[in-house]
Amino acid sequence: MVAEVLSQSGVRVDVYDAMPSVGRKFLMAGKGGMNITHAEPMPSFLDRYGARREYIKPLLETFSPDALIEWIHGLGIDTFVGSSGRVFPADMKAAPLLRAWLHRLRENGVSFHMRHQWRGWNDEGLLRFSTPEGERSLPADAVVLALGGGSWPQLGSTGAWVPLLAQRGVEVAPLHPANCGFDVGWSEHFSTRFAGHPLKSVVLSFTNAAGEEHRKQGDIMVTSTGIEGGLIYALSAPIRDEIAATGQATIYLDLTPGKSLERVQAEVAHPRGSRSMSSHLQSRAGLKGVQTGLLRECATAEDFADPARLARAIKALPLRLISPRPLEEAISSAGGVMFEVLDQNLMLKKLPGVFCAGEMLDWEAPTGGYLLTACIASGKSAGVGVLRYLKYLI
């Protein structure tokens, strides 16, 4: 987006990327359906950026979700709003959008230089790159770093830029997993039997040590070591912070959200005769497969012996989460270049002429199109900032 803003104003732009091709994470984001933005009203949209709301606000004022949708249409790609309010390209794919975008950039004169890994600056202040042909040192009137966070490093964003900026006195908040799964430490039996099984439409409740309550309904995927999926990602920031602060986080799952505690208790108290506990729970409480397995994994023998306790476990099953999955596996990163060290044009105060954009900035948001929207909007703002810096705009 920086390249687009600058090239449209007649600035010569060179894009350097360590990978053999650009936009690999963008393409990956399109794999399960490219959710590029969200149709909700601006105040709640901005709330998704939590503590960084006020820093993201001017970026989205420069390039709003509506402007982003218009921009996609301008590339010849239709969009639609899903039932959840998420906005997708008509075919849900990223590749046609990226292809059209790159075509337009090349037509505007943007040059792409692949397999150029940025390594910082040399003693003369030139940009240092490692390339297959050896090291190159290159000048630039202005530099925009858009190096991504630290998740999915195989797609190019390795976070190797963190020490390069820290050495220059730029404050960077440590990168942490965001929109990530968590480890539980399942028994061998549960892990082997249920990894890959979804828990559909459960209600997750979580209260942190500070007393902040979270409650949300959705789907969870059981993994070999713990849990992941949309519902977990949505609450992963407060859960991650709780584990960092106290060493663990206990969440509570309601396995039968449509039924009251009293009703579940009456159902499980019903005489079960010669039926196994599993078929009793299936016929009376509607629990089956992974739900019953999870109940057996997390509830005690005493719970199973007492209908009142068993009903309470079904309605609020405690699950102790012991660690977030590693950054490399997360959908996105928290942490990055702190907004306090940037001016309103996203230029580093300590390094005039060097701007930062995208996920490498210190913000996080849930999935739902909020990530790409803020990345692209920050690119627009940094591009405008460069135009001001180069005196193309006053």
Ligand X SMILES: Cc1cc2nc3c(=O)[nH]c(=O)nc-3n(C[C@H](O)[C@H](O)[C@H](O)COP(=O)(O)OP(=O)(O)OC[C@H]3O[C@@H](n4cnc5c(N)ncnc54)[C@H](O)[C@@H]3O)c2cc1C
Give the residues lining the site for ligand X (CB under 6 A).
Answer: 16-19, 22, 24-26, 28-29, 34-35, 117-118, 146-148, 151-152, 156-158, 160-161, 331-332, 358-359, 367, 369, 371-372, 375
Distance CA(386)–CA(353), nearest Å, equals: 8
The residue among 143, 112, 117, 145 whose CA lies nearest residue 130 is 117
Q: How far is the CB of 330 from ligand X (least distance, A)?
A: 8
Residue among 52 and 259 whose Cβ is closer to ligand X = 52
CA atoms of 336 and 208, how far apart (whole Å): 24
Choice between 89 and 293, CB closer to ligand X = 89
CB of 35 to ligand X, least distance (A): 4
β-strand partners of 112? 15
CA gap 283, 263 in Å, rounded:
14
When the beta carbons of 98 and 227 are compared against ligand X, the nearer one is 98
Cβ-based nearer residue to ligand X, 147 or 237: 147
Bridge-based pairing of strands 14-16 and 111-113 is parallel
Torsional class of 81: left (φ above 0), alpha (ψ -120 to 50), beta (otherwise): beta
Strand 226-228 versus strand 182-183 pairing type: antiparallel
CB of 7 or CB of 157, closer to ligand X: 157
Return the SS3 of 26: helix
Q: Which is nearer to ligand X, 34 or 281 (CB)?
A: 34
Supply the minimum distance, in Å, between the C-beta of residue 376 and ligand X. Answer: 8
Q: Are 384 and 393 in contact (CB under 8 A)?
A: yes
Instruction: Please tell me the distance from the alpha carbon of residue 303 to that of residue 100, in angstroms, as a whole number.
Output: 59
CB of 32 to ligand X, least distance (A): 7
User: Shortest Cβ distance from residue 378 to ligand X (Å)?
Assistant: 8
What are the start-end ranges of the H helices in the chain? 2-8, 24-29, 42-47, 53-62, 65-74, 95-107, 161-166, 188-194, 230-234, 236-246, 261-269, 277-285, 290-298, 301-305, 307-315, 370-389
Smallest distance from the beta carbon of 94 to ligand X, in angstroms?
Answer: 9
Q: Which is nearer to ligand X, 24 or 325 (CB)?
A: 24
Q: Which is nearer to ligand X, 231 or 251 (CB)?
A: 231
Minimum CB distance to ligand X smaller for 28 or for 100: 28
Query: In what side-by-side order are the strands of the sheet with 127-131?
Result: 117-121, 127-131, 134-138
In the complex, minimum distance from the CB of residue 179 to ligand X, in angstroms, rounded to a whole number? 8
We find the least distance from the C-beta atom of residue 156 to ligand X, in angstroms, to be 2
DSSP string, 40-94: S-HHHHHHTTGGGHHHHHHHHHHS-HHHHHHHHHHTT--EEE-TTSEEEETT--S
Cβ of residue 88: shortest distance to ligand X, in angstroms?
A: 9
Which one-letter DSSP state was computed for residue 123? Answer: T
